[in-house]
A = this chain, B = another copy of it.
């Protein structure tokens, strides 16, 4: 089977993850989608980008995980001008609430490696 395109292909740990939990307020769906597409195109061009996983349910609650090689890469991405504009509009227009967490991934198991390990 080819890899699932919704899953990120990350290296062996350690690496870093930005965990973004949010609830959309339903406002400006077209502007939001346009920005989401622009950021999905831009992020992979940043140094240290490793991949992204994202999902949102019918209630508007979403979780986006972006994976990075270092804290510095996260720091630099946060300060890219187009991304700062996305953050501003997220705050002012698109989200009812959000939390951002920065974490260091220490261990990872796939479905295949769990099988080999007998869970």
The reply to whether B59 and A57 contact each other, CB–CB distance below 8 Å, is: no
Interface of A is mostly: strand
The reply to whether A104 and B104 contact each other, CB–CB distance below 8 Å, is: yes
The reply to whether B100 and A103 contact each other, CB–CB distance below 8 Å, is: no
The verdict on A100 contacting B91 (CB below 8 Å), with A55-B55, A55-B63, A63-B55 known, is: no
With A and B bound together, what is the CA distance between A91 and B113 in angstroms?
11
> Which of B57, B87, B102 is A56 in contact with, Cβ under 8 Å?
B57
> Which of B55, B97, B102 is A108 in contact with, Cβ under 8 Å?
B102
* Copies of chain A in the complex: 2
A93 touches B (CB below 8 Å): no
> Which of B53, B57, B103, B114 is A104 in contact with, Cβ under 8 Å?
B103
The reply to whether A65 and B21 contact each other, CB–CB distance below 8 Å, is: yes
The verdict on A91 contacting B103 (CB below 8 Å), with A55-B62, A57-B55 known, is: no
The verdict on A6 contacting B61 (CB below 8 Å), with A111-B91, A114-B91 known, is: yes
